[in-house]
Structure 1
Amino acid sequence: MQLQLISFVLIIWNCMDYSGCQPHSSSRHRQHKAMAGGSSGCQQSGCLTCSDYNGCLSCKPRLFMHLERIGMKQIGVCMTSCPPGFYGTRSPERNTCTKCRSECDSCFNKNFCTRCRAGFYLHLGKCLDSCPVGMVHSDAQRECVPRCSAECESCVNSDTCTRCRPGLYQLNGRCHHICPDDYEPNDKLMECTPQVHCEVGEWSEWSPCSRSGRTCGFRRGQETRTRQVQQYPSPFGNPCPEISEVKECLVKKKRCQGARRRTDRKERRNRNNRKDKESQEGRRERKRERERERDAGEREDSDNRNKTENRHRRGHDSQTISPEDGLVQ
């Protein structure tokens, strides 16, 4: 390659000696000039020596010589690094940019590609039109990759996994340790499924003011309103808000219909209870009176018997005493 470049430069110099190389003689004088570093144009472009027609002929130290083709002409350009599709080669004489192999989009050297052109796939520094056994091609990376990624147990290709390894969750052909935002793990399916958030409907109208299930017979009560759950949340979705509300209310106190009848029934029950109680007390009093009368009669009978026994006892004593015993000398 270096010999080719030297030959190219010699051809340019030889061409400058012939009038046929340029259309008019005014430019022929510029072609013969090989200016040293004193030219401002050479300094600005990084050239060590240059030609107005062919650009840089040599570069300053550590810069690479790159030949750009413009139509049938090649212009020398000095660069700090070679453009895509070329790799840099350094030597004591000069540093040059050398074109990569035709299938390489970029390369490190002539035998090691770093990126392949469309239709080729990189594998171990080579650009192949088909990947080795056990590997598949990735159009996005233009590389040969393992058939399944490390997280996959089975896959269609390196970009599409059909079953993940244990403990990982599948989503859109990829495996995840933690599901992305707006998704949640499904341990049964081992997939990342979309989160479902709670949805509720509109509030109902406020109910009539009531208290203990009644709407009359009170001053202060409560009103309520509700709304229906239209979509219940998934385990990790947003929970449902309150679906019922209660507020205090005031009403003009009024007697309930039928309250009078209930009051009358209650009064009748009370009267009947009092009558029953009075009759029970009367029966108990009469019973106690009978018991007192019976006790009094028994005491009277007992007294009469005692009197009779005493009379009989005195009569018996008087009959048993003789006249002689009654005289005292």
Structure 2
Amino acid sequence: MQLQLISFVLILHCMEYANCQQHASRHRQHKQNVGVSTGCQSGCQTCSVYNGCLTCKPKLFIHLERDGMRQIGVCLASCPNGFYGMRSPDRNDCIKCGSECDTCFNKNFCLRCRAGSYLHKGKCQESCPEGLVPSDTKRECVPECPANCDSCLNSDTCKKCLPGHYLLHGKCHHVCPEDYEMSELMECIPTVHCEVGEWGEWSACSKSGKTCGFKWGQQTRTREVLQNPSPNGNPCPSTSEERECFVKRRRCQGKRKEDRKGDKRNRNNRRPKANRERKKDHEREMGDREDSENKNKTEQRHQRGQKRNPATEEGAAAQ
């Protein structure tokens, strides 16, 4: 009887110990799994409830963001500003740039500096070396004048370009951009296209300046040029056009009277012409008569001279 009682007590102790062991095992398992999430964020390979991504899928970078006292891991295709990517066989990390860099290529080469310092050969400096000036817009050490500039206001604004270049908005261009053209002043000026107004009304139907005495005629209409084009702009289209028109033929008023006046004018015009011709013939006749008289006078003087000097003629014959 005592032996049975002892056996029962031992069995109870063993069962209690087994339950304790099982409970302890479950507790350890739960403790190990505390903080492990079954649904990781996109890009995460493994993750934690408290620390976000622990490892990332291939080719992605793990970046640690601070949340109070904690650091939360996220997986990114590229690192944010102020960090650069470092790849290794085990994992890819986003590493913080130097304190003076806004963006960087690696630990020793900045791409853009923070405000107050200027980039020169991958380094951020508070002042620029000789021959260069700081540019606040680019945050770089740049030449005193822009490229291809002969004289300038500052490192960003040119006043006059070198030969072969054209000025536009403070910059020098070898060829002017689209919608601009080169001027004689070596500047890029906007290209201006021709603009014309609306067509006016058609004129009255007429022929040879008359609006009567015909059956078929012509009408015209015009439009104004509002904006003349620049040398490379679109030229102006036609500013006038004509079309044939038809009217009922009718006699012009006072036509016979005008015809009579026209005949009278023609006769009056012919009379002065005839008078001028008769005057010319008379002058020509008088001129010929005067020439004939002068010729006769000359011959008479010659004959009189020969009669006065016969001895001279005899001496000349003896010789």
What is the TM-score normalised by the length of structure 1? 0.56
Name the larger-Rg structure: 1
What residue number does 1:254 align with? 250
> How far apart in 1 are the matches of 2:226 and 2:89?
80
**Alpha carbons of structure 1 residues 223 and 117: separation in structure 2 relative to 1, 3 Å:** same
**Alpha carbons of structure 1 residues 158 and 29: separation in structure 2 relative to 1, 3 Å:** farther
Number of equivalent positions: 238
> How far apart in 2 are the matches of 1:60 and 1:247?
79
User: Any conservation in 1 of the 2:218–2:243 contact (CA below 8 Å)?
Assistant: yes
The DSSP-based 3-state class of the residue aligned with 1:213 is coil
What residue number does 1:224 align with? 220
What residue number does 2:232 align with? 236
Which of 116, 123, 127 pairs up with 1:126? 123
**Alpha carbons of structure 1 residues 103 and 31: separation in structure 2 relative to 1, 3 Å:** farther
What residue number does 1:156 align with? 153
User: Any conservation in 1 of the 2:219–2:245 contact (CA below 8 Å)?
Assistant: yes
Query: Between the two proteins, what is the percent identity of the paired residues?
Result: 62
Does residue 210 of structure 2 align to residue 214 of structure 1?
A: yes
The DSSP-based 3-state class of the residue aligned with 1:261 is helix
> How far apart in 1 are the matches of 2:103 and 2:194?
53
> How far apart in 1 are the matches of 2:257 and 2:59?
116
The DSSP-based 3-state class of the residue aligned with 1:196 is coil
The aligned runs of 1:71-220 (5 Å cut-off) are: 71-74=68-71, 83-87=80-84, 98-187=95-184, 189-220=185-216
> How far apart in 2 are the matches of 1:130 and 1:55?
42
> How far apart in 2 are the matches of 1:185 and 1:86?
45
Once structures 1 and 2 are overlaid, which stretch shifts more, 214-223 or 93-102? 93-102
User: Any conservation in 1 of the 2:147–2:172 contact (CA below 8 Å)?
Assistant: no
User: Any conservation in 2 of the 1:169–1:190 contact (CA below 8 Å)?
Assistant: yes
**Alpha carbons of structure 1 residues 149 and 257: separation in structure 2 relative to 1, 3 Å:** same
Q: Which runs of 5+ in 2 are unaligned?
A: 1-26, 271-319
**Alpha carbons of structure 1 residues 236 and 117: separation in structure 2 relative to 1, 3 Å:** same
Instruction: Render the CA deviation track for 1:5-44: whole Å, top value 9, x for unaligned.
Output: xxxxxxxxxxxxxxxxxxxxxxx97998599xxx997xx8
> How far apart in 2 are the matches of 1:105 and 1:58?
26
The aligned runs of 1:57-76 (5 Å cut-off) are: 67-74=64-71
Give the drift of 1:150.
2.7
Give the drift of 1:179.
2.0
What is the TM-score normalised by the length of structure 2? 0.58
Q: CA RMSD in A?
A: 4.2
User: Any conservation in 1 of the 2:44–2:57 contact (CA below 8 Å)?
Assistant: no
